[in-house]
Amino acid sequence: MNTTKLHMRPLIGAFLVSFAGLSLAAEKPPNIVFFALDDMNDWVGALGYEQAITPNMDRLAESGVNFTNAHTAGIFCAPSRTALFTGRHATSTGCYTTQVYFHSLPELTPLQLVFQRGGYSTHGGGKLFHHPAGFVDLRGWDEFFVRDDGQKRRGWPLDSWETDMAILPKPYPNSIFNHDREPANKFFLEWGPVKNEDEEKMADTVRTEWACELLRRKHEKPLFLAVGLYTPHFPNYAPQKYFDLYDAEKIKAPAYKKDDLEDLPPAVRKAKQARGAIHRRLESLDAVEDAIHGYLACISYADAMLGRLLDAIESGPNAENTIVVLWSDHGYHHGEKFDWGKHTLWERTSNVPFMFAGPGIARGAKVSATVSLIDLFPTVVDLAGVADAQQRDGISLLPVLRDPAAAKDREVLLPGMKPNEYAIMNRDWRYIHYADGGEELYRLEEDPNEWHNLASRREHAPVVKRLNAAAPKRFAQPLPSNNEIRLVVDGETFRWESKGKQKKRAGGASN
């Protein structure tokens, strides 16, 4: 297949003009567009991963600022997205796992409400929050798009596959991993092509086209538009043409080290040895590269959706006043540390694509300084010039977006799934601390695969001490998780209640 057909035209208008020095709180505030991906690690051409075919992500990177050492703010979907839309770490809020922040912390103003109060028209759609019913914070949205109105009567779930509208391959299950058994979690380690003619019916295509239609229109108010794709989260189903971009015989798996787990603290070593059964099964089926093929196909499908979005901006009335931000909620392991998944404090979970392009932003810049998705909230608020009266945990990257040479490396925090569990990262080191006192330390330039845990070596004790000192001095206690409260759906609205009590709490009612 001729892959050049998937490469879009170079961006014009806002994306090919450097507006460094422009006041972003000018007469006409910029439109802000989020393009959010799910389980997307840093396998992007513009991030140095040559195996992925990502012309539009590369195009966006060339048109703006590409943060090459960006890290998630949560190690799976729920805490990551909570941190992003509240601008607060789990260590500040207590939202370490599946807590519903707007139930327990209704006073905490989310990003979309800050934009709305700042005069923006706010539109959200797709997987922006955790996908089960009851997790969409509907406050502050002028519109929140779901492709099926029936979702509103089920508590606004954001899944792509648990409905009659899902586009599935035939046969199902499709992957060799699941051929001879009932699929674990229905779609885990499922991959395979669907018909090319079904692309327009797929949930992520429908969401993208909804966003494109908005971008083709002129708006009286500045626009905050956030569209979230489910891909490349499992199941890795994509139209056949995206599988055809890759030669299955040439796909390479990451490097694995046979005794990689031996120098880990006992508890995490035991957990990952058990988790390794997944990798061993894939190896026994000679399916590791096949599984990676499915993930790469979905990355290219997501990339094509980004291309549609960028083209809609370029060809519409918003070309000169729109900032695009690409992010992923966290990364994903494909056998590294013998894991297939996230939920870890290692590089495969933490490193994510993070790109900005548009007016007021330097063009064609790579920034290797360490940043976090916790920085997104204060950065876009500054870009928009809207007021935010609440304390957030990140820093604004606006000075770096204007002058990438001003970037300075710093230590960033990645909370784990409980208090006193975290990673501290900078350009040179990753320090991991577990709640039971276990520690890991990796020197990243010399050991990018994080194969050699240096935490117990005496000569590195000063580094451990210094990085440990950068951790929070106190950790918020976990709030009630979704399993500890009760979802009540009332028509097209919902609310959460404490179990055993009929006391209503603030949350899911739409404006």
pLDDT in tens, 139-152: 999 999 999 899 99
Is residue 65 within 8 Å of 365, Cβ to Cβ? yes
Angle between helices 266-284 and 288-315 (to 10 degrees): 90
Give me the residue spans of the domains in the chain: 29-257+287-410+472-498
Q: Is the pLDDT of residue 124 over 60?
A: yes
How does DSSP classify residue 99? B
Alpha-carbon separation of residue 485 from 34, 493, 506 (angstroms): 30, 17, 13
pLDDT band at 501 (very low <50, low <70, confident <90, very high): low
Q: What percent of the chain has pLDDT over 70?
A: 92
* Separation between Cα atoms, residue 490 and residue 244, nearest integer Å: 45
> Which residues have CB under 8 Å from 182's CB, separation 6+?
none
| Cis omega (within 30 of 0) for bond into 132 | no
**228 φ/ψ angles, rounded to the nearest 5 degrees:** -115, 125
Q: What are 370-422's pLDDT values in tens digits?
A: 999 999 999 999 999 999 999 999 999 999 999 999 999 999 999 999 999 99
* Separation between Cα atoms, residue 312 and residue 316, nearest integer Å: 6
Q: What is the pLDDT of residue 500?
A: 72
What's the pTM value of the predicted model, to 2 decimals? 0.93
Q: What is the pLDDT of residue 18?
A: 35
The closest alpha carbon to 341, from 251, 414, 276, 429, belongs to 276
* Separation between Cα atoms, residue 372 and residue 89, nearest integer Å: 11
Q: What are 274-325's pLDDT values in tens digits?
A: 999 999 999 999 999 999 999 999 999 999 999 999 999 999 999 999 999 9
Q: What is the pLDDT of residue 9?
A: 39
Helix (H) or strand (E) holding 103: helix 101-104
* Separation between Cα atoms, residue 13 and residue 208, nearest integer Å: 21
Please state, as a whole number, how many other Cβ atoms lie within 10 Å of the Cβ of residue 464.
Answer: 20
Residue 157 tokens read as 């779930």
Give the three-state DSSP class for 345. Answer: coil
Helix (H) or strand (E) holding 144: strand 143-145
Rounded-to-5 percentages of helix, strand, coil across the chain: 30, 15, 50
**184 φ/ψ angles, rounded to the nearest 5 degrees:** -65, 130
Q: What stretches of 1-69 adopt beta strand conformation (E)? A: 31-37, 65-67
How does DSSP classify residue 157? -
Helix (H) or strand (E) holding 81: helix 77-86
The closest alpha carbon to 507, from 225, 113, 57, belongs to 113
Q: What is the pLDDT of residue 184?
A: 65
* Separation between Cα atoms, residue 309 and residue 126, nearest integer Å: 14
Summarize the confidence of residues 11-24 as an average pLDDT: 38
pLDDT band at 182 (very low <50, low <70, confident <90, very high): confident
H helices of 230-375, in order, are 240-244, 266-284, 288-315, 347-350
Mean pLDDT of the residues in the chain: 92
Q: What are 427-450's pLDDT values in tens digits?
A: 999 999 999 999 999 999 999 999
* Separation between Cα atoms, residue 53 and residue 397, nearest integer Å: 28
pLDDT band at 503 (very low <50, low <70, confident <90, very high): very low
**323 φ/ψ angles, rounded to the nearest 5 degrees:** -105, 130
Q: Is the pLDDT of residue 8 over 60?
A: no
Tally of residues, the chain? 511
Q: Is 501 exposed, middle or buried (0-12, 13-18, 19+ CB in 10 A)?
A: exposed
> Buried b / exposed e across 71-84, counting CB within 10 Å, b at 16+?
bbbbbbbbbbbbbb
HEC-encoded secondary structure of 188-214:
CCCEEEECHHHHHHCHHHHHHHHHHHH
Q: What is the pLDDT of residue 255?
A: 96
pLDDT band at 506 (very low <50, low <70, confident <90, very high): very low
H helices of 353-433, in order, are 376-384, 398-402
Is residue 402 within 8 Å of 21, Cβ to Cβ? yes
Give the three-state DSSP class for 191. Answer: strand
What superfamily in CATH does domain 29-257+287-410+472-498 come from? Answer: Alkaline Phosphatase, subunit A (3.40.720.10)
Q: Is the pLDDT of residue 468 over 70?
A: yes
Amino acid at residue number 482: N
